Structure formats: C-alpha cells, structure tokens
Amino acid sequence: MTSTLMDGLLPFQHEPYFNYADPAVADAQRAAFRDVRARYVGRTFPLLLDGQPVEGPSTFEVRNPADTREVVWHFQSGTAEQREQAVAGALRAFETWQFSDPLQRASIFLRAAQLLRARRMEFNAVMTLENAKNWAEADGEVAECVDHFEIFARETLKWAQGKAVSPMPTEHVTTVYEPLGVVVVISPWNYPGAIPLGMALGAIAAGNTVVWKPASETPLSSLLLVELLHEAGLPRGVIQFVTGSDDVYGDPLVDHKDVRMIAFTGSKEIGSRIYERAAKVQPGQRWLKRVIAEMGGKGATVVCADADLDAAATGIVQAAFGYAGQKCSACSRVIAEDRVYDALLEKVKALTEQLTVGLPEDNAPVGPVIHAGSAQRILGYLERGQQTARLVTGGARADMGDAQGGYLQPTIFADVPSSDPLFQEEIFGPVLAFTRAADWQDAIRLSNDSEYGLTSSFYSRDPLKIAEARRRMHVGNLYINRKCTGALSGTHAFGGYGMSGTNAKVGGPDYLFWFVQTKTVAQAY
C-alpha cells in the first residue's frame, strides 16, 4: 500500500522562486506587504496548547529590525505552568499520533504544501517585517518550506516500509522504525520558517509530537506554519506552540524528564550547553535523550589559480553578503592562491562596492543585522580587525537617515592571518576575510583550519584538484565551482562536521533516522 502511493506520487520538483524582475510580480509582493500590515500589525498572538489559543500573564514586543521604532506585533510570555501544560499535552497526543497512518501524515504534508503555495507572498512579507530579509531571501526560505512539505511526505512513506533483513527458514523477521516521544524544537531567528519546520516535520513525520519554541524575534513566521499544518489536517495536539523567555523555555525544557529529544539550531555556545544538559538523566526519566544540533559555521571559499575568477567573485559576494552575512552557511573566509589573490580581491571589492544598503521592505540588496547588540558586537570585530589586517572596503555603520537599525557596510579585510579572530570566529554579519595561500594544497589546509565544518566552496577547472578537494575538505556541505549558500531541500542534505553540529542532514535521505528507534521482531513459524 505504501509502495503503491509512493509510485503514484509525481516526481519531486523544487518550488520555483518568484521573478521579481517582472513588474507584475513585484507589484504583487508590494500588495502583500500592504495586506500583511493591515491584517497583522498591532495584533497580539497566543500560545497554542492542545490546539487552543492561550494567553499568558504578559506579552513581549516584536520589533521591525529595519526600523526598530516600529513594533509590529506582540506575543505571549508563557509561564512555567504553561510549559508543563505543553509537555503534558504533547505526551498525551503522542499516545495516538505514534500509531497514525503514514499515509495520513504524508497527505497532511502534501496538503500543507498546496496551501503554502497560495500564500507565499504573505509569508514572505511577514518574514521581512520580523527578521529583515529582502524579498528574494524571504522567498527562497518560504519556497524551501514548500520543498520541505513535499520531501517529508515522501520520506514519511519511505521510512514506514522498514528495511529488509536476511531471512530465516523458521522465522518471519522484520525491522521497523518507531517514534521516540516528545521532541522539543528550538529554532533561530535567521531562518524562522525553514529551520524549525524541517526539525518539526522530521519529528512528526516519524510519529513523534512537538513542543515548538521559536526565536522571540520571529515568532509569527513560525506560528503561521503551525496554523497552516492545522488547516491541512494535523491533529491540534501534535504541535504545542510556546513563546517566552529562555529561563522558562530554555534549560527547563531541555532538562524535562518527559522530553525524549531536543532538535536545536543556533549558536555553538547554546548548542553545546544543550548537548551537555541533555546527557544528564533526570529523576523519573526512562531514556537517554537524543540531541540534534546545528551550531554555525565559518564557510571558506578556496580559489585556485586556474579558477574562473569572475564566477568565483560573484559566488563569494553572494554568499558573503546575502542577508547581511547572517547565515551559518555564509562565506566568511576567502583563501586564494598567491598567483590570483590580488586579481580576485579586486574583483570581489568591485562587486561588493556595487551593493547598496537599504530597507528590506524595498528589496534592498543588503539590509540590517537583527539587533543593535549584534551590530555593536560586529563593529568590535571591525575595529579590532583594522589593527591586525588590511581594511579593503566598508568597516563602519551605513547611513540610513532616520531609520533605526543595525545597518553596516559590507566589509572586506585582506591579508588576514589564520590565527586572527576574523579567520577563526563566526561573526554572523557582513564581514569577509581574505587570506593568501602559497598554493592550492595550502589553501585546502587553511580551509580546514577551523573548529567549524559546515560549508565550503572550491573553485578550480582541474579535475585532479577537485578530486583532492572532495577527499580533503572537512565539511558537511562542499560546493564545487558555485557559492556555498543556497542548499535545496531534497538535493543538498544540510548539516556539518566538527563544532558545526551533529551532522543531522535535514532535507536528506537519512534525516528521519534521528527521530526514530529501530525494532526487530522475529516470529517463529
């Protein structure tokens, strides 16, 4: 039955992006911003506990990073009692959802994909107002959410079939996969749709239930996806949606005896903390908790002397300064062979200086970083970097007139030593470090000189060099002759090595294995 339905599914195709160069498409996106402002700005949104809207004793503001004077909406500051209610509700829902028909789960996801296609511009606009992505960046993420629904529908059916085993003459033996229990999803602000949705779909596709805790900067982008799943037919208790402070919904959820697994994306510091705390068995806990964690990166682009320098320069600028560098996959280091270092640097500088900093709602190429605090932290790197490296362009705040936000100039440093914080530390902003390599092998060595191992790019026309890069570059996602951002669900399974995390590859064929346990049943004839 499962195999028949899988055979009947159309071949997967990635959701195409909107062409904003078409005036009609651009006008439709502007209309979506007007509609979102009329429908959502000024509203206060609830928690969702057992599918019912619930208020907390107080609320918090969500501000527009493009101009922090604007409060766009409010969300609940949930309590410890509501946290317990959420976990208990997820545990109750698990009693039945764990036995749900995989066909039901897949059908819900496919229906959700249809619903989201019809509302993509609305979701784009909400995301832009929450985290300051421009149109193309927001649309890329929402299209990825559509892809997630389609991919996880197919993965649900695939994993429901179990695996074949070597037969026995006197026994019927099966190997099947069963869900774990309650999964806590803790997600970041930079991808408030695709990242928590991927983690949540991994959980519920396998028959688990979810406590979904979005970043406080971007809760509406998450809530709309939960409501979309409900509209598509997901039983309302399967996802408990909570918002509030970290002291209520951080460590206490990780430590909770009834939580079976934590799925986290965020900083190395918090991910490491979760990993450590989850290892402790709490009183009344009857399992070892599972953790998946994606914890950032320090993406390197290696450029060999035989590379197409124009293609490399274009990919570098796109990957370094798209969404103001606030991607764990962003290119933050360029390591170029000495023979082409200066020529490449000049090309990248010229392209960077063509970028304009402006309002995301107006689809500016580069917008603000998420917080004033983030901007101040990044400015510290820029100030210290000028003592240890050569400033090529940028290096200061960008003038945005009356708009109040973390607007920074796209910045390039050259001649950066490999020991420098500019080379080693995840800055999470529009800052790019250039480092000179003696040759292409030295460049590969330098690319691996990092505790992170998420994404890297390698530019060369030489098949032998490419083969060596494939073997020796220590990252979870390696891109040859293309930029190191823009992973597509279902094609570029995404997850890193080292301190980039646990290498759970979202959007890939093995991802659901993290959310299941394996049962072997042998029945004698």
The predicted-structure confidence for 244-282, as pLDDT tens digits, reads as follows 999 999 999 999 999 999 999 999 999 999 999 999 999
- Give me the torsion for CA of 157, 158, 161, 165, rounded to 10°: -170
Within the chain, which residues score under 70 in pLDDT?
Answer: 1-7
The CA distance from 87 to 292, in Å, is 19
Does 484 participate in catalysis according to the annotation?
no
Domain boundaries, the chain: 2-11+36-295+504-524, 299-488
Specify whether the CB–CB gap between 183 and 210 falls below 8 A: yes
Q: Residue 368's closest CA among 357, 354, 380?
A: 357
User: Environment class of residue 401 by beta-carbon count within 10 Å: exposed (0-12), middle (13-18) or buried (19+)?
Assistant: exposed
Confidence (pLDDT) at 7: 66
| 344-350 LR contacts (CB < 8 Å, sep 24+) | 344/303, 344/309, 344/312, 344/313, 345/392, 345/412, 345/414, 345/434, 347/309, 347/310, 347/313, 348/313, 348/316, 348/317, 348/412, 348/432, 348/434, 349/392, 349/393, 349/412
- Residue 335: in which H helix or E strand, if any? strand 331-337
Q: What pLDDT does residue 6 have? A: 64
What per-residue confidence (pLDDT) applies to 10?
86
Query: How would CATH label the architecture of 2-11+36-295+504-524?
Result: 3-Layer(aba) Sandwich (3.40)
- Whole-angstrom distance, CA of residue 509 vs CA of residue 145: 17
CA-to-CA distance for 73 and 60, rounded, in angstroms? Answer: 9
| 294 assigned to active site | yes
Q: Among residues 137, 141, 217, 294, which one is catalytic?
A: 294
Is the domain covering 299-488 a CATH 3.40.309.10 domain? Answer: yes
Q: According to the model, what pLDDT value does residue 272 have?
A: 97
What's the predicted TM-score (pTM) here? 0.96
Active-site residue (options: 145, 304, 328, 331) = 328
DSSP conformational letter for 361: G
Torsion over CA: 303, 305, 310, 311 (sign): negative
